[in-house]
């Protein structure tokens, strides 16, 4: 009988070892599965961020392309502004002359035509005289003490300023009024 008992005890020990081995293997598989789940979550998280970055990149590129289209001519217009200034000075000098000949009229027509073309492209003149000084649109080159204007009002424009669409591409050079009452207060 003892021989029969031994195989059953041996079988029970083998079964316990097999069960323990399966439990160990199961734990190992569970750990491996958890590790793979974490990797999957990490990959999914990275993919989500990458997709968001790509969408932001696309939006930024659309915005930059739109700005390039809208403001692509800006450099040419800036380069042409001194020509407008010189044509305008030539017209003013010719008009002061008593003879007002056809050359002045030709320059005047050229100036008008060029200005009209630039206006159609989005160029706008900044009108400054009589307006309050705006550091975004004006560059003050002199303060003039006067009683005739309110403090901070532009009283003279030395060089015209221009905007291209909604951007200031050249600020107006201006003289700004300073009231005499302020000067007295400073001295007191």
Separation of alpha carbons 157 and 150, rounded Å: 16
Task: Pick the more confident residue, 99 or 5.
Answer: 99
Q: Could you report the per-residue pLDDT of 106-154, keeping only the tens digit for each? A: 788 888 888 888 888 889 999 999 999 999 999 999 999 998 899 999 9
Do 65 and 76 fall within a single domain?
no
Separation of alpha carbons 70 and 170, rounded Å: 17
Do 79 and 100 fall within a single domain?
yes
pLDDT of 6 over the 60 cut: no
Do 51 and 82 fall within a single domain?
no
Provide mean pLDDT across the span 63-79. Answer: 84
For residue 101, what pLDDT is reported?
73
Provide mean pLDDT across the span 91-114. Answer: 78
Q: Contact 71/167 with Cβ under 8 angstroms?
A: yes
For residue 182, what pLDDT is reported?
46
Do 138 and 99 fall within a single domain?
no
Do 178 and 140 fall within a single domain?
yes
For residue 10, what pLDDT is reported?
64
For residue 183, what pLDDT is reported?
45
For residue 185, what pLDDT is reported?
43
For residue 100, what pLDDT is reported?
66
Do 116 and 168 fall within a single domain?
no
For residue 169, what pLDDT is reported?
93
Q: Could you report the per-residue pLDDT of 11-69, keeping only the tens digit for each? A: 767 777 787 788 888 899 999 999 999 999 999 999 999 999 999 999 999 999 988 88
Separation of alpha carbons 123 and 158, rounded Å: 19
Separation of alpha carbons 150 and 139, rounded Å: 18
pLDDT of 3 over the 90 cut: no
- Tell me the β-bridge partners of 123: 164
For residue 187, what pLDDT is reported?
39
Q: What's the structural domain count of the chain?
A: 3
Residue 131 belongs to a domain with what CATH number? 2.30.22.10
Q: Range of 116's domain?
A: 72-121
Q: 90 CB contacts (<8 Å, ≥6 apart)? A: 104, 107
Separation of alpha carbons 63 and 70, rounded Å: 10
pTM of the model as a whole: 0.54
């Amino acid at each position: 009988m003892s021989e029969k008992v031994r195989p059953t005890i041996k079988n029970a020990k083998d079964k316990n070892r097999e069960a323990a081995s399966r439990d160990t293997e199961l734990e190992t598989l569970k750990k491996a599965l958890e590790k793979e789940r974490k990797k999957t979550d990490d990959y999914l998280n990275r993919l989500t961020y990458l997709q968001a970055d790509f969408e932001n990149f696309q939006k930024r590129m659309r915005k930059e392309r739109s700005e390039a289209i809208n403001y692509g001519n800006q450099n040419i217009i800036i380069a042409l502004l001194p020509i407008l200034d010189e044509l305008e000075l030539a017209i003013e000098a010719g008009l002061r002359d008593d003879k007002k000949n056809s050359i002045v009229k030709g320059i005047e027509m050229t100036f008008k035509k060029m200005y009209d073309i630039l206006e159609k492209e989005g160029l706008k003149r900044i009108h400054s005289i009589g307006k309050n000084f705006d550091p975004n649109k004006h560059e003050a080159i002199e303060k003039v003490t006067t009683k005739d204007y309110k403090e901070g009002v532009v009283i003279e424009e030395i060089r015209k300023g221009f905007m291209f669409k909604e951007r200031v591409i050249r600020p107006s050079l201006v003289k700004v009024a300073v009231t005499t009452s302020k000067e007295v207060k400073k001295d007191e």
